[in-house]
Amino acid sequence: MNRGYWNRPVTFETTTLGVYRTINSASEAAGVLLYDWPVDEGKAWKAAQEICLAVLEGSADAEESRQAFLLAAEEADVFVRDS
């Protein structure tokens, strides 16, 4: 399976205040968006899920999922340290 590794990782604050996590692939992003995201709605959130899954299926570029993850974080007001 293509995990869709990104060129640069993304570090973000989890739902636990002051706790950060770094991810570096569409696979990790999909898991976060599906199971550990602070909201379960929004256009960017839904689009990010779809793009991450498309990367895993081989029909989208990994860097598209990184950008979509960052947009979903912005939409949900999740703090990101974009490295």
Per-residue pLDDT at 30: 97
List pLDDT tens digits, range 2-53: 789 999 999 999 989 899 999 999 999 999 999 999 999 999 999 999 999 9
Range of the domain at 55: 5-82
Per-residue pLDDT at 53: 96
Q: Is the pTM of this model over 0.75?
A: yes
- What is the band of 81 on the pLDDT scale with cuts at 50, 70, 90? confident
Residue 80: closest CA among 47, 26, 37: 37
Tally the domains of the chain: 1
* Range 70-81 burial, b when 16+ CB lie within 10 A, else e: bbbbebbebeee
Per-residue pLDDT at 1: 58
